[in-house]
A and B are shown apart, each in its own frame.
Chain A
């Protein structure tokens, strides 16, 4: 995927020379930061590529690889964890055959974990494509995944 002409310039105009918001703009629009994007940002901001790479790999919200069609985020905040959040991750790992941070081969699912979404009352919480699913159980998550797997493109 190549970046739209003028996208980075627009972002620089909006945020000034602040690297993180520029990378956030790219991440939000293109869902990942490719090598090509990072090189262009470094050139435009006239900073060493290693610094851009350093920042892109330091923060959890940046991804250097493309994400899947459905992004499943399991909250592993303390409250979700003691209410069984880890079990949800275990079941998903087994069902999708990927570890957190990975994407399935067919690019259908990406599995991620988050430190806390702050909705502790209804934990464990899973966020699927931006929608919250509370009081999750291993059985409920498997049902949800199976429905998504069946859905046609």
Chain B
């Protein structure tokens, strides 16, 4: 790899890379993120490699980060035609190669929605309403090759920034209106300004890649698919703030993200974007990677700092803020992955361009992970101000089985639920807060009529009581008590005072906890009580779970009239709880039944009754 010693050398190299790009060649871009791997993309990759054998002059295979459309994994985009093929199997590979050579389209591999077929990526409803500023380049980049990033204009923003005064950069970020994408939404420019004004010979910056919210994986996508974008953002930020050292604190549950970020830091260093005297500007900056060790609370900035220092991830009192006294006692600026990724785009295109996207108070785009009971599961990058309705129904295409959507949940364990009748809300920091939830880092979980809201609140409370660091007794003990009360409700053991007790506990935990984890821990419970009180009452008074989820409140029985005695349920029951002779109606022994539902799933005669 050539080491660049000046801006001129960079510009020459950038020109050369773009010129060398063979535009006549077809490129098959295979989505190869973790979700792709888990769905079988590696087998598809092997088959494609074999099928390309002999046609290397005209077709290239590029392994890229995730294309965002997870429900269509493993998928490819063929360039330059931009043809999108979904849910591929290894045996599709030879046909794909032949169709490219003949200039044809394989009908049964394209996306089909309500009888309409969509051949090209830009026409597909899932992509059409999105504005993919941060994620759109993923299909063009092999994330192990820095040259791919330079080929799409990478590092131009850094070059521009290095010709600006650091203060000018901070002003530009302030003007853009960018707010922290980790959840709280604090204005990034102001955060930088505070850090840059600190008088200290040593300052640090940190990229918070400890993406802990369950059901949210926007950061993983960027870390795996376009790590140089984050690194470039960090270099610009470090220059603006006056920091010479940075850390990426990444979740250990993301091995591919760790691998790709490590490779990219090394390549950026070899090329001279990191290290001493970057592009001969006299600016020194380098990045280290630190792997988390599995603690949700380390997403909180003071806890994260303690974790890098090698301590338990207990949060500490603010002020002093990390910008004043942070990592190793030095001024430290922490931003989330997606926030850093926005920086090069703002510098390159200008603050005015960015501020034009979005609403009055929330600018730019936001990546959401649209998951749960939704057909088009995936990562969607949308302009702020789009409605929930558009995301869930136009992009997500509703539920996969036609069931009715009940609510969405945003903001992870710190967030709340938004019921279906509020789906015309435009997405921004303020409106979500007003509705009783938060923007959070970007998890958007769709729930249908089969989701029990009490059980769902119990799930998050269980998560939080397990992840509470234990420092504040109100959070440590309070979340446990809430979990116990919720368990009682889901088991039909609660009494009329339970809801009031939950609300009282919620108030105390919110008011008396030190960090964000405790202060927001009651949110899932409060928002479900606010919108779905009926479900709580059904569990408490009628001892019924309307969604049929809570195990203690449901029974599996055999309809004696319908049962043909085929024995399928009996063979498959893991507990041996089903009794009966062949060709005679069977029975379920309730003492042995663990309510796993295997009998219900397997009965071809609808004779297993799922009694609520």
Query: A: which residues have CB within 8 A of B?
Result: 17-21, 23-24, 51, 54-55, 58-62, 76-79, 81-83, 86-87, 90-91, 94-95, 114-123, 125, 132, 134, 137-139, 142
Within 8 A of A (CB), among B457-474: 459-460, 463, 467, 469
Q: Which residues of A contact B460 (CB under 8 A)?
A: 78
Q: How far is the CB of B528 from chain A (nearest CB, A)?
A: 13
Given contacts A90-B596, A115-B463, contact A21 B38 (CB under 8 A): no
Q: How far is the CA of A83 from the CA of B596 in the complex (A)?
A: 13
Cross-chain contact B215 with A138 (CB below 8 angstroms): no
B601 is an interface residue with CB less than 8 A from chain A: yes
B443–A61 touching, CB < 8 Å: no
Q: Are A139 and B601 in touch, CB under 8 angstroms? A: yes
A78-B409, A90-B594 as given contacts; A59 in contact with B295, CB under 8 Å:
yes
Q: How far is the CA of A137 from the CA of B601 in the complex (A)?
A: 9
State whether A24 touches B291 (Cβ < 8 A). Answer: yes
Q: Is the CB of A139 within 8 A of B602?
A: yes
How far, in whole Å, are A125 and B215 apart by their CA atoms in the complex?
12
**How many angstroms from the CA of A51 to the CA of B310 in the assembled complex?**
10
A116 touches which of B217, B308, B409 (Cβ 8 Å):
B217
With A60-B294, A78-B409, A118-B253 already in contact, 14 other A-B pairs whose C-beta atoms are closer than 8 Å: A18-B310, A19-B310, A19-B311, A58-B295, A59-B295, A76-B214, A78-B412, A78-B460, A81-B214, A82-B447, A87-B597, A90-B596, A94-B575, A117-B253
Instruction: Please tell me which one of the listed residues A18, A58, A79, A94 contacts residue B372 in the complex, with CB atoms under 8 A apart.
Output: A79
Q: Are A91 and B594 in contact (CB under 8 A)?
A: yes
Does A94 lie within 8 Å of B214, measured CB to CB? no
* A61 in contact with B311 (CB, 8 Å): no
A44: min CB distance to chain B, Å: 13
B369 touches A120 (CB 8 A): yes
- A55 and B451 CA atoms in complex are apart in Å by 37
Shortest 4 CB-CB contacts between residues of A and residues of B? A118-B217, A60-B294, A121-B70, A78-B215
Selected A-B contacts with CB under 8 Å, 24 pairs: A19-B310, A20-B290, A20-B291, A21-B291, A55-B312, A59-B294, A60-B293, A60-B294, A61-B293, A62-B294, A78-B215, A78-B371, A78-B372, A78-B412, A82-B372, A86-B459, A116-B216, A116-B217, A118-B369, A119-B39, A121-B378, A122-B39, A134-B39, A137-B601
Bound: A91/B213 CA distance, A: 25
A119 to B257, CA, bound (A): 13
Query: Given A94-B594, A116-B217, is A138 in contact with B294 using a C-beta cutoff of 8 Å?
Result: no
Q: Which of B430-466 contact A (CB under 8 A)?
A: 443, 445, 447, 451, 456, 459-460, 463
CA distance A86 to B216 in the complex (A): 18
